[in-house]
A and B are shown apart, each in its own frame.
Chain A
Amino acid sequence: MVYTKRYKWPLITLIVIIAALMFVIAVGFTIGFLSEDPDGLERVLINNNGEEWLENLYSPWIPFLSWITNDYIAGIIGVILAIAIMIAVFYLIIFLKKRNTE
């Protein structure tokens, strides 16, 4: 049984987060609030070694979700994954900690 009442506020907060993120993505780039420029580390690497050097760095893996290029889909999947993984890991931590203290 799912106790929706108990989780009312976390659920509302989650919906608000996703809605706010979608809104920010939608208008952010238009009004210049968001930027697609490189971040601090990328800027330092590009300034010193060039963009091509950065793009050609060897990676032994192909990022599992790198095929998702749409910001909205990536944002929603990321938020859901973050919640699922966070809940699973901390549920396990609390379970193990309680078992050890009993």
Chain B
Amino acid sequence: MHIPDGLLDPITTIVLWIITIAVMILGYFRMGKMFEKEDSEKIIPYIGVLGAVIFAFQFVNYPVPGGTSGHLVGGTLVAIILGPWASVIVLFLILVIQSLFGDGGITALGANTFNMGIIGGIVGFYIVMLIIKLLNNTSMKKELKVTIATAIGSYIAIVLASFICGIELAIAGAIPIEISVPAMVFWHVLIGIGEAIISALIVFYIYKTKPDLITTESMLGVK
């Protein structure tokens, strides 16, 4: 879903850059208290590793029927681990690195961060939160609730991001809206399955091995 340079019109590009920068500044102020703790430096190496994991997984393109491929975006996954506001910054940095390799445009960084970081991260996180609220009525184990909610949340977030991306393509005049939105959603309904499985497996693995790395547990309201 990496938008290349030259695809979006200047106004859409600028508007999405402004929104992304505003959200990142807001994100800095709204980031969780864990970043202000006395020993908060301890988590820095893990954030580095998390960035490496997301980059590595985004490098791995799995085949999707119809001559298409998909890869992990990881917005919702990062949001579950570090919180929704930090996830936008993490995704922005990952997209900066990828744009240096020619994967996604440099001028389109605002749009790509909006789609994958803000929709994938922040919106995805609140969808996960909502699903956990529903699952709290069941007798499931904590880690299972978070894993299932992550799978569903990351799936919905990726499909929603593709829907928004379809609208952006239409506004930019690249493809008419009656084609761009259904086509984008159709492919990402398939691609999203991989996103859901990978995100859920990583969250489940962290819950089993080092649960304190999931810093948003209280925010998610898991009971």
Q: How large is the interface on B (under 10, 10 to 19, 20 to 34, 35 or more residues)?
A: 35 or more
Question: What does DSSP make chain B's interface, helix, strand, loop or mixed?
Answer: helix
**In the bound complex, what is the Cα–Cα distance between A44 and B177 (angstroms)?**
12
Contact with A along B95-108 (1 / 0, CB 8 A): 01111111001110
Contact with B along A74-88 (1 / 0, CB 8 A): 110011011111110
Q: Which residues of B contact A58 (CB under 8 A)?
A: 5-6
- Which of chain A's residues has its CB closest to B175's CB? A48
Contact with B along A36-49 (1 / 0, CB 8 A): 11111101110111
Residue pair A21, B49 in contact (C-beta under 8 Å) = no
- Which of chain A's residues has its CB closest to B38's CB? A98
Q: Which residues of B contact A66 (CB under 8 A)?
A: 100-102
User: Which of A39, A64, A75, A86 touches B51 (beta carbons < 8 Å)?
Assistant: A86
- Which of chain B's residues has its CB closest to A10's CB? B45
Residue pair B45, A45 in contact (C-beta under 8 Å) = no
Residue pair A34, B62 in contact (C-beta under 8 Å) = yes
Q: Which residues of A contact B66 (CB under 8 A)?
A: 43
User: Which of B6, B31, B165 touches A41 (beta carbons < 8 Å)?
Assistant: B165
Stretch at the interface among B142-150, B180-188, B214-222: B180-188
Tell me the minimal C-beta distance from A55 to chain B in angstroms: 10
User: Which of A14, A43, A59 touches B67 (beta carbons < 8 Å)?
Assistant: A43
B19 close to A (CB within 8 Å): no
Residue pair B1, A79 in contact (C-beta under 8 Å) = no
Q: Which residues of B contact A24 (CB under 8 A)?
A: 60
Q: Which residues of B contact A74 (CB under 8 A)?
A: 59, 101
**In the bound complex, what is the Cα–Cα distance between A43 and B42 (angstroms)?**
42
Tell me the minimal C-beta distance from A99 to chain B in angstroms: 10
Tell me the minimal C-beta distance from A69 to chain B in angstroms: 10
**In the bound complex, what is the Cα–Cα distance between A37 and B167 (angstroms)?**
23
A65 close to B (CB within 8 Å): yes
**In the bound complex, what is the Cα–Cα distance between A76 and B48 (angstroms)?**
14
Residue pair B35, A97 in contact (C-beta under 8 Å) = yes
- Within B35-77, the residues touching A (CB, 8 Å) are 35-36, 40-42, 44-56, 59-64, 66-71
Q: Which residues of A contact B179 (CB under 8 A)?
A: 48
- Which of chain A's residues has its CB closest to B7's CB? A57
**In the bound complex, what is the Cα–Cα distance between A91 and B165 (angstroms)?**
32
User: Which of A63, A87, A101 touches B48 (beta carbons < 8 Å)?
Assistant: A87
Residue pair A44, B31 in contact (C-beta under 8 Å) = no
Residue pair B63, A35 in contact (C-beta under 8 Å) = yes
Q: Which residues of B contact A38 (CB under 8 A)?
A: 67-69
A17 close to B (CB within 8 Å): yes
Q: Which residues of B contact A37 (CB under 8 A)?
A: 61, 63-64, 67-69
Q: Which residues of A contact B63 (CB under 8 A)?
A: 32-35, 37
Provide a sorted-by-A list of 5 A–B residue pairs whose CB atoms are within 8 angstroms: A13-B49, A44-B169, A81-B100, A82-B48, A83-B49
Chain B interface (Cβ < 8 Å from any Cβ of A): 1-7, 28, 31, 35-36, 40-42, 44-56, 59-64, 66-71, 89-90, 93-94, 96-102, 105-107, 162, 165-166, 169, 174-175, 179-180, 183-184, 187-188, 191
